[in-house]
Amino acid sequence: MVATVACALSGGVAEAQTAATGTVTSVVDGDTLHVAVAPDGHDVTVRIIGIDTPETRAPGTPIECGGPDATDAMVELAQGKAVSLVTDPTQATVDRYGRSLFYVDRTDGLDVGLEMIKRGWSTAYVYSDPFQRLPTYEAAEAEADAGQRGVWGDCNGDFHRTARDERLERATAAKAFVRTYYRRVSNKQFLAAWAMLGANRKAQLRPYRRWKAAYRGSLSTSVLAAKARLSGGRAVVSVRLRARDRDVCSKRVVRQYFRGTVTVAPKRDSWVIVKFKIRKTSGEAPRTAKSRCKPKPPPPPPPPPPPTTNCQGYNPCITPGADVDCAGGSGNGPRYVEGPVYVNGSDPYDLDSDGDSVACES
C-alpha cells in the first residue's frame, strides 16, 4: 500500500484508485491539508480533489469572503483525524504547485470534500477533466445553494469575492438602506419606513402615530451625501440631510440642514436602523402650528372727523367773526361777501334786508 502511494506521489496519472492512511497534522486552508502518512509518518501536502474554497493564504490574493470560515470548517472536520487518501484515475496525482491530489475520507466513512460542499464552504471544482465523484458533489452543491448555506448565504455564492469586496458591498448596501428609509418617509410610506426600524428604536419612538405625526407635515427629507463604515457586524452611515417644510404662518418653504449618523444592524438578508444621532447645522426653523404665528396687529383707528363748520345759516358759508357786509354795498365791513347769499336762520349780520331769504342780490 505504501509503495503504491509513493508511486502515485511521484507524478503522472494513476491507472487505478489507490489509497493510503494517515493523520491530518495541520490545515492550510479550506481545501489543503498536511497529512502524516503511515507507516513512517512522512508529511504530504494534500490538495483535495474536486473542491474549491475561498482563499486565505494565496500569495498576492486578498482574503476572500468565507475563507476563514472554510478553514475553520476544515479544521473541525479533519484536524487530528485519521484519514484515507484516495486517488482518482481521471486526475493527475500532483498539481502545478507540487501538492498531492487526493480525495480525503475519514476512517468513519465521511468524505471530507463532500461535507465541505454540503456545508456551503466549498464549490465543486473541475480543473481539467471531470472527476469520478463529480455528480455527487454537484448534487450536494445544489442543495447547499438552495439552503443558502455557508458562502451561498454569506457571500451571495461568490466563492472568490475578497473580504474587501465584501466590506464594500456591505457598506454600499447600508447606505442604500438609509437612503431608502428617508425616501419612504418623504413619500409618506410611513408603515414601510416604520418596518425598517429595530425593535428597541421603535420602543423609544412609540407610539407609531406620534412618530408619524412628526414627519407628516414635512414636504421631504433628502440625503445629500452618505458614507458608511463597518463596525463589527453593524454599519455606521454618516449623512448630510436637507429637510423641506412649509411654514404655516408665512406659507413659505423653509429648508433646514442636518448632519449626523444612522447606525444599522444586520437582520436576515437586510438591515434595521438601531440608532440616530442627528444635529441641525443651519437653516430656518419652520413654524408648524398656527399657535406659533404672531397675532395680526389691530387696524389703525379711523381718522377723526373734520371739525364741524358753523355757517350760521348762510350759504355760501359765513363763519362767526367780525361784521360782514355785502360787497359793493354801503357797509364798512370789515368782511365782505359776494351775493347772492341764501339765508336760513337768524341772519346775525342783517344781510337780508328785505326778508326774502336772499341777501346781497345786487
The DSSP code sequence of 196-214 is TB-HHHHHHH-SHHHHHHH
What's the angle, vertex CA 31, arms to CA 69 and CA 123, rounded to 5? 75
Pairing of strands 234-246, 123-124: unpaired
DSSP bridge pairs for 84 = 21, 105
Residue with cell 372727523: 305
Task: Assess whether 47 carries a catalytic annotation.
Answer: yes
The residue from 15, 47, 259, 292 that is catalytic is 47
Calpha distance 40→61 (Å, rounded): 35
Separation of first and last alpha carbons in the chain: 163
Calpha distance 34→59 (Å, rounded): 19
Query: How distant, in Å, are the alpha carbons of 23, 314, 317, 319 from that of 310?
Result: 134, 9, 8, 6
The residue from 15, 57, 76, 99 that is catalytic is 99
Task: Assess whether 209 carries a catalytic annotation.
Answer: no
DSSP tag of 65: T
H-type alpha helices, the chain: 2-9, 67-78, 112-118, 134-146, 151-154, 163-186, 190-194, 199-205, 208-216
Calpha distance 171→253 (Å, rounded): 34
Which class for 138: exposed (0-12), middle (13-18), buried (19 or more C-beta within 10 A)? middle
Tally Cβ neighbours within 10 Å of residue 281: 12
Task: Assess whether 170 carries a catalytic annotation.
Answer: no
Pairing of strands 51-52, 42-48: unpaired
Q: Which amino acid is at 25?
A: T
Buried b (16+ CB within 10 A) or exposed e, 253-275: ebebebbebbbbbeeeeebbbbe
Catalytic annotation, residues:
47, 55, 99
